[in-house]
Amino acid sequence: MDDYMIGVLSNIGVVSFVALSAYLLLLTGEISFGQQAFFAIGAYAAGIATALWGWPLALALAWGAVSGGGAAVLVGIPTLRLHGLYFSIATLAFAEMVRILFELFRYQVEIDGELVGPNGAEGFRGIRYIFDHNIDAVQFLALIYSLLVAVLLGFVLLERSQTGVAFRMIGEDATLAGLQGISVARHKVLAAGLAGALAGVGGGLYAHLTTYVEPRIFDVMLGVHSLAYGLIGGLGTAFGPLLGVLIDIGLLESIRPLAGYRMIIFGGIVAVLLIVRPRGLLDEKLVHRIGRLFVRSWPAKKDGRGKPA
Amino acid sequence: MVDLVQNTIDGLMIGSSYGLLALGFTLIFGVMRRLNLSYGPSVMIGGYLGTVVYLQFGAGPLTVAAAVVVGAAVAGIYVERLCFAPMKAGAAIASMVSSFAIWMQLEQAAILVLPRHTYAFPPLATGAPIELGPFAIRVDHLVMLGSALGLAAAVQLVLYRTRFGLALRAIIGNPVAAHLVGVDVRMVMPLAFAGASAIGGVAGFLVLAVDQQITPMFGMWATLKGLIAMMIGGLGSVPGAVLGGLLLGVIEAQSQWYFGPQIRDLVAYFVLFAFLAIRPRGLVGSMSEASTQKA
Amino acid sequence: MFEVSDIVAAYGKIEALKGVSLKVESGRITCLLGPNGAGKTTLMMTIAGILQPRRGSIRLEGAELAGLSPARIVSRGVALVPENRLVFPEMSVRENLLAGAYQRRDRAGIDSDIERMYARFPRLKERRDQMAGTLSGGEQQMLAVARALMSRPRLLLMDEPSLGLAPLIVAEIFDIIAELNRDGTTIFLVEQNAHMALKVAHQFFLMEQGRITFSGTPGQLAEDEVIQRAYLGTRRAVG
């Protein structure tokens, strides 16, 4: 694998975390334009933890998740009664506020005769943990993907759990879910918190991958992209957002001759795709059909063995 | 005290164009119940067409204005045909994401046509500011305010005094019932889109002419300002859109003067967030349940 | 005469109408009965052009309506008073009536028709400048009927006009239906309230699971044991 390839793959992995974060909220029926805020919070929190406080990476990533999740719960509460466009715009407003606050945020410490730490709009340079600890690009790539696999496993478990069913029910019809005895408020805050934590971990990884972060990276564009990935890849499964990221970053950004026309092609393809498949490539129906395929072949074998008659 | 009043004057002037942007936005949202993220980028395309006309032929302000409005309207129809008309009922999110994809497309198209980051845009009116005691009013600001208020009044008239306006309000009120009384919804939609984008085009022209420059980022700027003003004013109301725009203009002018541009944006988003959390219907929003449903 | 033949329509993947045929005689009141989910509203929406049938034909005085847009169907003389009324909540009563005449261009005729509606529905006259969303359920139903009449329909479709209304108001609505019919309007109505329908309708159809399973006069309807039990409930016990 050459460096370019490793770079692209690392990017895909890291962006997948924000995409999954937006996807989790989509499950509960809410469209967030603001998951990039928790990505940013996670990036700064984890970056500060290793670069300024000397924490180990694992702890710093956890701290990024806690910060992202905590912030998400804090915003989740005042926006709880908002739906649809109102909720989406509230998340957008919050995320932009976070971005501007990071532009104003200065917290620098002298380390080895060098000023390190967030420096307003200049950004936060010198998150050198992976250099200082001799972690090479492939190792970090492995870290990103093992965390991603863990998250996907979590999603698979979630989708089968009561909580996952509750999320989807709220997404279908919150009033009905409430009548069925599901605590809508609690589940919504929970979903917001989990989504925030997910974005927070992604942010932590991102900060250590690139070794510096700038507030302007976390603008609306990142947020809307994250949301779009789920819709392109499909809302039926957590692999949908990943597919979306793969198509955008993996396929199109890597095909260099397309440079300059990439967005014209990408935009057109997405628009046409959404006409044909309004809930993405891997939508609920397709996922259900694939699922049945497996289930059908499985118990059949079991039955054959279990019941000799 | 003088500063405070002067800032308010400036804010109202700039805010009137925000109000126009919000007006076009709110019309589209009203008839579609879906968010058109490509609204600002459509206006930006109009701006680029105006810039081309200006750079290639040295056209005057009125011709440039016409080019901006036509360009925005055509881009608006393109977006409607691709992102909204073919979508099934219930696919509101798909429409929105699709309009985002087209935003990316329009932005890239603009860059392909005019690849530099900024281009000059013809000024609206030059000349010394009008002095009123200690206060000064820029002539182009005055033109901006006048055109914005005039256009908003015209939109109100069309909505409440014409058959087309009746059709629009019927669709906004209840799309199924609009079909049932015989409104040809499929005909009205693209017209509404074109009209709303054209209104955005007027706003875009005014802002660009005051700034005297255009960048591809103008699309995002227009979408964001329109959105904020629309939500502050209250979704679905013409006076609300205008008032929301004026309020946003004043808030921005004051905070910019006293605290600088970063705090200005922070305050604007904070006001938006506070309105949504405390009073989601905005200043004068009257739209019923329907609009709070999934967008 | 209005004739629906072999209409098949689907709601997503579910086939809601599985080959529906029926006839509505001009100048009469025809009533479609049936349980929830039988496809009655789907049929009304299909006739009005909101839903497109997969196959079959819908003819008014011999002219084909299937496949036309809702707007064209209104201009051909078919108006639907939809389930749940669907008035325009943020328009005044008068504007709702104006919207009802959207397909017409005769200004003077429209004005005089609005006056006629005010005469027939005095409550609407009292509230003509009020937003329709602030009216009571019964008033909204009257407005929905008046709005439909503004297009001067040859055939008036009504989908459960009694839904969610107090008994006194329901009686009033049915008086109006009878009155409209006496004045010559052909009416095709969907109703769950079979008792009320029996008082006014001349012809009945019963729809179950997307199919017409019975057609007959009120007398035949009252004689049918199964319908007796299912739709008229306690009637025999009382009468």
Instruction: Give mean pLDDT, residues B39-62.
Output: 95
pLDDT tens digit at each of 309 positions of chain A? 788 889 999 999 999 999 999 999 999 999 999 999 999 999 999 999 999 999 999 999 999 999 999 999 999 998 888 888 899 999 999 999 999 999 999 999 988 888 899 999 999 998 999 999 999 999 999 999 999 999 999 999 998 899 999 999 998 888 889 988 899 999 999 999 999 999 999 999 999 999 999 999 999 989 999 999 999 999 989 999 999 999 888 777 767 677 778 788 888 888 999 999 999 999 888 888 888 887 665 554 444 444 444
- Give the pLDDT confidence score for residue C49 in this predicted structure: 95
- Give the pLDDT confidence score for residue B205 in this predicted structure: 97
CA distances from C7 to A191, C16, C22, C28, C73 (A): 46, 10, 10, 22, 17
Task: Give the number of other CB atoms < 10 A from CB of residue A258.
Answer: 15
- Closest alpha carbon to B149 in B206, B194, B65: B206
Encoding tokens for residue B80?
Answer: 């409607």
Domain regions of chain A by residue span: 3-219
Chain C contact present for B21, CB below 8 A: no
Q: Do B182 and C103 touch (CB under 8 A)?
A: yes
Q: Which residues of B touch C91 (CB under 8 A)?
A: 169-170, 173
CA distance B141 to B271: 24
Find the helix or strand (DSSP H, E) in which C227 lies.
helix C225-227
- Closest alpha carbon to A253 in A3, A11, A33, A46: A11
Q: Which residues of B touch C71 (CB under 8 A)?
A: 179, 182-185
B contact test, residue of C47, C68, C85, C90 with most B CBs within 10 A: C90
pLDDT higher than 50, residue B289:
no
Query: Which of B173, B180, B184 lies at the smallest CB-CB distance from C91?
Result: B173
Q: Which residues of B touch A227 (CB under 8 A)?
A: 97, 100
Give the sign of the dihedral formed by CA B82, CA B88, CA B94, CA B95.
positive
For residues B218, B224, B227, B233, the Cα torsion angle rounded to the nearest 10 degrees is -100
C contact test, residue of B26, B160, B161, B181 with most C CBs within 10 A: B181
Write down how long chain B is.
295
Task: List subunits contacting chain B, requiring 3 or more Cβ pairs under 8 Å.
Answer: A, C
- Give the pLDDT confidence score for residue C153 in this predicted structure: 95
Task: Give the number of other CB atoms < 10 A from CB of residue B55.
Answer: 14
| Closest approach of B133 to chain A, Cα-based (Å) | 37
| Closest approach of A301 to chain B, Cα-based (Å) | 40
Q: Which residues of A touch B41 (CB under 8 A)?
A: none
CA distance C68 to A299: 50
Place of tokens 């715009």: A89
A contact test, residue of B79, B104, B106 with most A CBs within 10 A: B104
Query: Which of B163, B182, B287 lies at the smallest CB-CB distance from C75?
Result: B182
Q: Which residues of A touch B262 (CB under 8 A)?
A: 100, 103-104, 121
CA distances from A90 to A3, A77, B34, B107, B271 (A): 40, 12, 16, 25, 11
Q: Which residues of C touch B179 (CB under 8 A)?
A: 48-50, 70-71
Mutual angle of helices A3-27 and A137-160, in 10-degree steps:
20
Cα Dmax for chain A: 80
pTM of the model: 0.88
B120 strand-pairing partners: B213
Q: Left, alpha or beta for C77 (phi > 0: left; psi -120 to 50: alpha)?
A: left
- Give the pLDDT confidence score for residue A173 in this predicted structure: 86
Domain regions of chain C by residue span: 2-86+153-238
Burial class from Cβ neighbours inside 10 Å (0-12, 13-18, 19+) for residue A245 reads: buried
Query: Which of C49, C89, C100 lies at the smallest CB-CB distance from B173?
Result: C89
Chain A contact present for B288, CB below 8 A: no
- Give the pLDDT confidence score for residue C224 in this predicted structure: 81
E-strand spans in chain A?
109-111, 114-118, 124-125
Q: Which residues of B touch A29 (CB under 8 A)?
A: 294
Q: What SS3 class is residue A83?
A: coil
Mutual angle of helices C93-100 and C137-149, in 10-degree steps:
30
| Closest approach of B186 to chain A, Cα-based (Å) | 17
- Give the pLDDT confidence score for residue B40 in this predicted structure: 97
Instruction: Give mean pLDDT, residues B184-188.
Output: 91
pLDDT higher than 60, residue B27:
yes
CA distance C239 to C237: 6
Higher-pLDDT residue of B13 and C227 is B13
Q: What is the mean pLDDT of chain A?
A: 90
- Give the pLDDT confidence score for residue B91 in this predicted structure: 85
Give the sign of the dihedral formed by CA B217, CA B218, CA B222, CA B223.
negative
Looking at the domain C2-86+153-238, which fold is it?
A: Rossmann fold (3.40.50)
CB A211 within 8 A of CB A92: no
- Which pairs count as long-range contacts for A119-123, CB under 8 Å and 24+ apart, including other chains? A121/A214, A121/A215, A121/A216, A121/B262, A122/A214, A123/A212, A123/A213, A123/A214, A123/A215
pLDDT tens digit at each of 239 positions of chain C? 899 999 999 876 677 899 999 999 999 999 999 888 889 999 999 999 999 999 999 999 999 999 999 999 999 999 999 999 999 999 999 999 999 999 999 999 999 999 999 999 999 999 999 999 999 999 999 999 999 999 999 999 999 999 889 999 999 999 999 999 999 999 999 998 888 888 899 999 999 999 999 999 988 887 887 777 777 664 444 33
Encoding tokens for residue C145?
Answer: 């009927």
DSSP code of residue A213: B
Q: Residue C28 is which amino acid?
A: R
C212 strand-pairing partners: C207
CA distances from A134 to A129, A139, C100 (A): 8, 10, 76
Provide the pairing of β-strand C203-208 with C29-33: parallel
Q: What is the mean pLDDT of chain B?
A: 92
Find the helix or strand (DSSP H, E) in which C23 lies.
strand C14-24
pLDDT higher than 70, residue B251:
yes
User: How sure is the predictor about B95, in pLDDT bands with cuts at 50, 70 and 90?
Assistant: very high
Q: Please tell me which residue of chain C has the smallest CA distance to B184.
A: C71
Q: Please tell me which residue of chain B has the smallest CA distance to C150.
A: B181
Q: Left, alpha or beta for C122 (phi > 0: left; psi -120 to 50: alpha)?
A: alpha
- Give the pLDDT confidence score for residue C238 in this predicted structure: 38
Q: Do B109 and A78 touch (CB under 8 A)?
A: no
* DSSP line for chain B: -HHHHHHHHHHHHHHHHHHHHHHHHHHHHHHHSS--TTHHHHHHHHHHHHHHHHHHH---HHHHHHHHHHHHHHHHHHHIIIIITTSPTT-HHHHHHHHHHHHHHHHHHHHHHS-SS-EE---S--SPPEEETTEEE-HHHHHHHHHHHHHHHHHHHHHHHSHHHHHHHHHHH-HHHHHHTT--HHHHHHHHHHHHHHHHHHHHHHHHHHHTEE-TTHHHHHHHHHHHHHHHH-TT-HHHHHHHHHHHHHHHHHHHHHH-HHHHHHHHHHHHHHHHHH-TTTTT----HHHHS--
Q: Do B170 and C91 touch (CB under 8 A)?
A: yes
- Main-chain phi, psi angles of C155, to 5 degrees: -130, 125
Q: Please tell me which residue of chain C has the smallest CA distance to B285.
A: C90
Encoding tokens for residue B123?
Answer: 């000024």
Taking only Cα atoms into account, the Rg of chain B, rounded to an integer number of angstroms, comes to 19
Please report, in angstroms and rounded to a whole number, the separation of the first and last CA atoms in chain A.
Answer: 54
Instruction: Give mean pLDDT, residues B137-147.
Output: 93
Query: Which of C69, C90, C148 lies at the smallest CB-CB distance from B288?
Result: C90
Q: Residue A144 is which amino acid?
A: I
Q: Give the number of B-C residue pairs with CB atoms closer than 8 Å.
A: 73
CB C189 within 8 A of CB C173: no
Describe the strand order of the beta sheet including C186-190 as a list of residue ranges: C78-81, C155-159, C186-190, C29-33, C203-208, C211-216
C-side interface with B, Cβ within 8 Å? 48-50, 69-71, 74-75, 79-80, 82, 86-91, 95, 98-100, 102-103, 133, 147-148, 150-151
Q: Residue A159 is which amino acid?
A: E
Q: Which of residues 121-150 of A touch B (CB under 8 A)?
A: 121
CA distance A131 to A128: 5
- Give the pLDDT confidence score for residue C12 in this predicted structure: 66
B119 strand-pairing partners: B214
Q: Which of residues 5-34 of B touch A (CB under 8 A)?
A: 29
Encoding tokens for residue A112?
Answer: 């080895």
CA distance C114 to C120: 10
CA distance A46 to A41: 8
CB A53 within 8 A of CB A67: no
pLDDT higher than 50, residue B291:
no
